Amino acid sequence: MTRPSLSLRIAAALAVIFGLATVFSGARALFGGVDMGQVVPFVLWFNFLAGFVYVLAGVGLWLGSARGRWLALALAVATVLVFLLFLWHVWQGGAHESRTMAAMTLRSGFWVVVAALAAKVGR
């Protein structure tokens, strides 16, 4: 294990908080009967399930484990790919909520930055 930098520990803590919030909001949208508007089901399900992985990645990064670094990279790649699929859906005229665009931009940017920080520490 490599000792994580302060910036990576902050990112790890944010990942855990972000993950818990994602699981909570996703569960409300999927199972709580809350009308979220014109959600895109594959994006909603991905984000809900990824929230659990956010928590695992955050804990791993906090501990300085290689698994945490790999999870951060996998989350960055997977989130960007789902975002691209979402953009394709929008471009094809699919119904969506504009807040999903902002949320996916935030999620993609967050995980790309975290993965880059984790890679820097891992070297």
- CA distance readout (Å), 37 to 43, 88, 96, 112: 13, 19, 8, 28
- pLDDT tens profile 71-111: 999 999 999 999 999 999 999 999 999 999 999 999 999 99
- pLDDT tens profile 49-66: 999 999 999 999 999 999
- For residue 104, is it within any domain? yes
User: What is the pTM for the complete model shown?
Assistant: 0.91
CA distance 117 to 123: 10
- For residue 1, is it within any domain? no
- For residue 40, is it within any domain? yes
CB contact at 8 A, 70 and 30: no
- For residue 38, is it within any domain? yes
pLDDT at residue 2 in the model: 63
CA distance 81 to 107: 12
- For residue 41, is it within any domain? yes
- pLDDT tens profile 25-50: 999 999 988 788 899 999 999 999 99
Range of the domain at 30: 6-122
- For residue 90, is it within any domain? yes
- The number of folded domains in the chain is 1
- For residue 70, is it within any domain? yes
pLDDT classification of 122: cutoffs 50, 70, 90 = low
CB contact at 8 A, 51 and 86: no
Q: What three-state secondary structure class fits 88?
A: helix
